[in-house]
Every structure is written in structure tokens, then in C-alpha cells.
Amino acid sequence: MATSPKPQKPPVLQYDEQLVNLYEERYLPHVDRVYRFAFALTLSLETAYACVKATYQQAAVKLPSTKHLAETGILPLLVETCWKVYQDAGYSQSSGGNSGLSSALKPLSISERASLAAVDVVGLSTADAAKALTWPEVDVRRNLAQARRTLIQDKPQF
Amino acid sequence: MAVTAGQLSDNDILYGYLPEYLDGELPSTIAPKYEQLLQTAGKESVLEEFQSLRGRLQLSMQSYYLRDREQSELAALVQDPRVKATVENVKIAELERGVAVSTMVRRVAMVVFVVGLGVAAYWQFGKTSDNTFKPLEYLGYEALALEEASRERLNLPSHETKEVSQYLANYPGLDFKPRMLRNVPASWELEGATVIDYEVAKVVVVMYDHRTSKNNEKIIHFSFAGRLSDLPRSEPGNMRGLIYQTYASNDQNMIAWQSAPNVVSMLVGRRSADELAEIAVAGHNN
């Protein structure tokens, strides 16, 4: 059964218009990609949303210190944060959902799912994915290769 | 640090670099070995299966997206929705104010434009009106000026009637046949002629000098295109059939008559109107 942290209403941060605009224009457009990455990790839509929400909470808190980050660095940062949130929050106990996609991804290890989702779903380069997942790039390549090979050979329906 | 072929198994290389191979972006450390591995594994089927897998994976994933309510929750992390609504209302109000100001500016500009157009039209037509030829005013002044400095103001100082006649007949741009008094009494001598160009009208001037006058008495014959009825009404005179109108200033008398259907003549001098009329009648008789 999926476990998720007890819902708490986060405090609303008081930011000036510039930071609010930065958040709305540079961070929020990536929510769906981060959500899909989180789903690949948790295999549950509900837990994936909890993961995304926690990710954006952290991103919002760090907004003043990351406001000079290049636009191309924001999506890798969000994936990195989501990955940490996933690991720290214990979502790994998730038993997953029942969709065809979750059934297809379930045979993969979490490392393989993370690599596959970061590169083939979110669209990061393997270098950015390695940085976000805090692994050597060679490990990401191995995980990626294993995930693709498994899915090609299993030919799951989704 | 770049990954080398030696760090990976053949399968890791083959499946790990499929997108890079398809995009033609294989690293140089991998490329030599990759084609060989691909041939061994069955190039077409591996590529086809991967593209199909990736396409289906991405398509399936795209059915997962956050709803508006969830996105609003994420947006609310940095700004209270009530504050956001207030900010938006303020922006809308500012926008409306901007639109109102812009509309006002446009209207003012339109009014200014219309007023400008009116002023321009007034100047255009007013100018024409102001520049309407006013013979009594203009020629009264010209007569005084010619009296004082006839030499400087006559383009053709000449005592020869024929010469003056030719000068006037050949003068370019005159829209009427110039008139001159050919048989003025012998006491008056032709002194010369000129043409004054007022832009709105050209006036032919022929000046006569009294031969025995000690103070260089002159009479000046002006002629220009127009109708006698264009001049202000005055008491009409009739000198042996010459119908004329009389005008006077402190210094001069002026008679005007229709010397041809479209030509008005004016004779200006210090003689009485009757005497001027006598001269005019004599000048018209051959």
C-alpha cells in the first residue's frame, strides 16, 4: 500500500512580484513532466502528486537562492529535488497502481525507472540525468540500457 | 566525465545509446563499436522496437497531467490566492485606467487633429480671402509710392507710347488685354509703365507727368482684370458717356470705370474727379 506523508498545509511564502513571476513562468510549466517522473518512481498518481507538491514546496523555499539559475537548469533541478523527495519521504514502499503503464514499469528496478523516466520521458540528457539522480553517468547508461532492453523484450501493453 | 566503451557491456552500449544513434549524435568513443553491435543484434528490428517503445511510453505518460485545482495548489505555494486575486484586480484596474487614458489621449489627439485641420483650412481659405485683391487700398498706396519715386518703380521709363504699348502687350502672364490712355491732353506726358504682381492679380500701371507742373504732378492709370461692380459702391459719374465711380483719400482722387468687358481702369491723381474723368475720356478717344 502506498504511503505518503500526512498532508499538511504548507505556509504561504511571501515573495515579491519578481520571484512570484519567476516561479509561475519558469517552474510551474514543468509540473506535468515532474509529475510523470514522480509517477515512474511511485507508480501511483496520488503519491506522484504528493511527491510533486513536496518538490515544488522545496523549490519555492529555495527560490531566492536559485533565482539566477539559467532557464535550462530549472527542469534538472526539479527532477533532482523530486528524486530526493522520493527517497527521503519513503515513497519507495509504494505498491504501485493498476494501470497498464505501472504494470509495465513495475518489473524495472527503481534505478532503471528513474533513469528511463529522466531521459526518455522528461527529456533530460544522460549527463543532466546523472547529475539530478546523483549517480555517475555510466550508471545512468547502464540503468537506461537495462530498462529499455527489458521493455523491448517484454513487449508490455500500455 | 565522458563514458567510454570499455566501461559498458555490449548490451549497455547497444541499448544505452539508441537515441544518440538515431539522432546522429553518438560520441566518438562509442561510434566505432556501435554499428558493429547494431548489425549483430539486427539493426532494423532493434531501432524499430525502440522507437515504438519510446513513442508508446511517452504517449501513455502524456495522459498523466495535473488538473487545474492541483496546479492552483502549487501556484499558491508562493502567493496566497487572495493576494493573487487582489494583485490581478489591481492589474486589471491599472489596465482599464491605461485604456481609459489611452482612449482619452486618442480623443484629445483627434480633437487636436480636427481643430488643426480647421485652422489649416482657415489659413488656407482665410489666406485666400485676405489675399483678395483690394484695388482701392492697394492702388491708393501704390499711387502715392509711384508719385514719390517713379524712376525706381517704373520698369519701363519711357515717353514713347508705342514702346510702352509693346511692353505691355508682350508682358508675360497677363490674363487681360492691358489698357492705356492713348490721347491724353497734351499737357500730360507719358512717363513710363510697369506691372505690379500681387500674386492674386497683376496690375498694369501707366504713369503720366504734368509737363508744366512745378511739383511733378502725376496721374496714374491702373488697369486690371475684373468688374467695376467688384469695387465698393460709390456715387456714379457720367462724363460724356463714360460711366465711372469716384473715390477719394486725403491726398488723391480716384475714378474707376469698366474700360473693357473684363478690365477695370482706375485713374488716380490730385486733380478733381471731373478733371480725371475728362482725361480718361480724352484718353479713350482717338
Q: Any CB–CB contact under 8 A between A1 and chain B?
A: no
Which residue from B53, B64, B75 is facing A148, i.e. has the nearest CB? B53
Chain A residues in contact with B64 by the CB 8 A cut-off are: 32, 35-36, 39, 45, 48
Distances, alpha carbon A125 to alpha carbons A83, B50, B53, B182, in Å: 16, 17, 18, 110
The rounded distance, in Å, linking the Cα atoms of B143 and A41 is: 110
Report CA-CA distances (Å) from B262 to A48, A103, B23, B82, B228. 103, 110, 94, 87, 9
- Please tell me which of the candidates B7, B60, B87 has its beta carbon nearest to residue A158: B60
Closest CA to B62 of A121, A65, A85: A121
The domain locations on chain A are 17-154
Confidence of residue A111 (pLDDT cuts 50, 70, 90): very high
ipTM of the complex: 0.86
- In tens, the pLDDT along B81-94 reads 777 778 778 888 89
Q: Does A52 contact B at CB distance below 8 Å?
A: yes
Class level of CATH domain B135-284: alpha beta
Chains A, B: CB contacts within 8 A come to 109
Residues B201-247 pLDDT 10s: 899 999 999 888 878 889 999 999 999 988 988 878 898 889 999 99
In this complex, which of A12, A39, A145 lies closest to B16 when CB atoms are compared? A145
Distance from the Cα of residue A89 to its chain's centroid: 13
More confident residue, B133 or B113: B113
**Residue ranges of domains in chain B:** 5-61, 75-130, 135-284
Report whether A77 contacts A66 (CB < 8 A): yes
- For residue range A71-90, what is the model confidence (pLDDT) as tens digits? 999 999 999 999 999 999 87
In chain B, the residue whose alpha carbon lies closest to the alpha carbon of A44 is B64
Chain B residues with CB-CB distance to A152 below 8 A: 15, 46, 49-50, 53
Say if B61 is an interface residue toward chain A (CB within 8 Å): yes
DSSP annotation of A120: I
Q: Give domain A17-154's CATH architecture.
A: Up-down Bundle (1.20)
**Nearest residue of B to residue A53 by CA position?**
B74
Chain B nearest-CA residue for A31: B66
Q: Report how far residue B143's alpha carbon sits from residue B124's, in angstroms, rounded to the nearest whole number.
A: 30
Q: Does A100 touch chain B (CB under 8 A)?
A: yes
Residue-level pLDDT at A1: 44
- Each residue of B143-168: pLDDT tens digit? 888 888 877 888 899 988 889 989 99
